[in-house]
Amino acid sequence: MNIWISIIFFVLAYLMGSVSSAVWLGRWMKGVDVRNLGSGNAGFANVMRNLGPQVGVPVLVIDTMKGFLAVGLAYLIPGLESDTEIFYVAQIAFGLAALLGHLFPVFSGFRGGKGVATGLGIVLALFPLGALLSLAVFLIALLISQYMSLGSLLAGISFPLFVMFLEPTDNVPLIVFSWLVAVLLILTHQKNIDRILKGQEHRAVIFKKK
């Protein structure tokens, strides 16, 4: 594997992740910095809650795509064959770089989001079946609890379980990465967990009453 090209792609993936769509679209479409609203988080959930779906949906799409495309950079490394362990490592490394960029974006003062949408894009590229099942877990938890944060946590925790039981090959890098994502989600949602336990977490309005 070409180490210099890999390093360049790693930096590129970080820069892709640093595209803070929540901050940029919030300023462009609504004239506000979403980090000054609600939870202060530059992510999809805070945008939806405070700026509405007009801004929230594009943020979700962009943040998901930057994780998905970052993983795809592994296919551009000359001489690197797919379905090899080093290929999986490259995919995961670029995905982590994008996630790091989303959490600590160089273009937005290193104040980013919690990585849920970007993480979704990464796992969609790495293991689509597990990602879709985790998305189903998120939707079910959201419909029952109306807590987006709880849905995100349960989806993140379920993903490594889906990987372990449904991945046909013994993909050790993917297994390690999936558990790393689960732990990272728990760490970035500590305040949400505390508010859920205290009954103070913001609820998502799914079905508006007439």
Angle at the Cα of 143 (from 29 to 65), degrees rounded to 5?
A: 45
* Least confident piece of the model among 2-16, 26-40, 45-59, 160-174: 160-174
Question: Which pLDDT does position 15 carry in this prediction?
Answer: 97
Question: Which pLDDT does position 206 carry in this prediction?
Answer: 52
> What is the spatial distance between Cα 122 and Cα 112, in angstroms, rounded to a whole number?
17
Q: Is the pLDDT of residue 199 over 70?
A: yes
> What is the spatial distance between Cα 31 and Cα 191, in angstroms, rounded to a whole number?
27
| DSSP conformational letter for 167 | -
More confident residue, 23 or 209: 23
Q: Is the pLDDT of residue 209 over 70?
A: no
> Quick one: which H or E segment has residue 163?
helix 148-166
> What is the spatial distance between Cα 33 and Cα 71, in angstroms, rounded to a whole number?
29
**Can you say whether the dihedral through the CA atoms of 96, 65, 117, 41 is positive or negative?**
positive
Share of the chain above pLDDT 70, in %: 96
| DSSP conformational letter for 112 | -
